[in-house]
Amino acid sequence: MIVEKIVTNIDQMAKEELDKRHKEKVYLESADLMKRIQRVTTDHGKEIGIRLKDPRDLVAGDVLYMDDHNMIIIDVLSDDLLIISPQSLQEMGTIAHQLGNRHLPAQFEENEMLVQYDYLVEDLLKELKIPYRREDRKVKQAFRHIGHSHD
């Protein structure tokens, strides 16, 4: 089977629509969410080719296939993350500036900043006394590096 477009995302579906279908999952590393062309295997051993026509990243919960009885869903493996919890606007500005200088991609969930684990960033957080914790957590989307150069 070759998938060329995403059917929907489970977040857009009614619970009764989800509950009536058998679910197979494709587990991806968060970095693989950016790949438009790849070969994957479901948790039931079914091999699928993904060749998306639209230039978009995959997102956790994307439905690759669905009929009246079955569906194949994208799920994401946990990442080793630093969960940064600044206590003030000053701390937030300081760490955002420091991470921006390193071109390190970040994601935000409520009042937390998530970055992929890096021992240098952990040392920086300790030095700046900015509260953080290290945790394995699933993210919904890929950590995307933004192209930039200092001219």
Q: Give 126-147 pLDDT, tens digit per residue.
A: 999 999 999 999 888 888 765 5
d(CA 77, CA 101): 28
Q: Is the pLDDT of residue 150 over 50?
A: no
> Domains of the chain: which residue ranges?
2-76, 79-137
Q: Is the pLDDT of residue 40 over 70?
A: yes
Structure confidence by residue, pLDDT tens digits, 71-108? 999 999 999 999 999 999 999 999 999 998 888 888 89
Q: Is the pLDDT of residue 6 over 60?
A: yes
At the topology level of CATH, where does 79-137 sit?
Answer: Alpha-Beta Plaits (3.30.70)
Q: Residue 151 has what pLDDT? A: 52
Mean pLDDT throughout 59-82? 95
Q: Is the pLDDT of residue 63 over 50?
A: yes
Which residues contact residue 45 at a Cβ distance below 8 angstroms, ignoring those fewer than 6 apart? none
Q: What is the pTM (predicted TM-score) of this model?
A: 0.76
At the topology level of CATH, where does 2-76 sit?
Answer: HSP40/DNAj peptide-binding domain (2.60.260)
d(CA 143, CA 80): 12
* Average pLDDT score over the chain: 91
d(CA 126, CA 29): 28
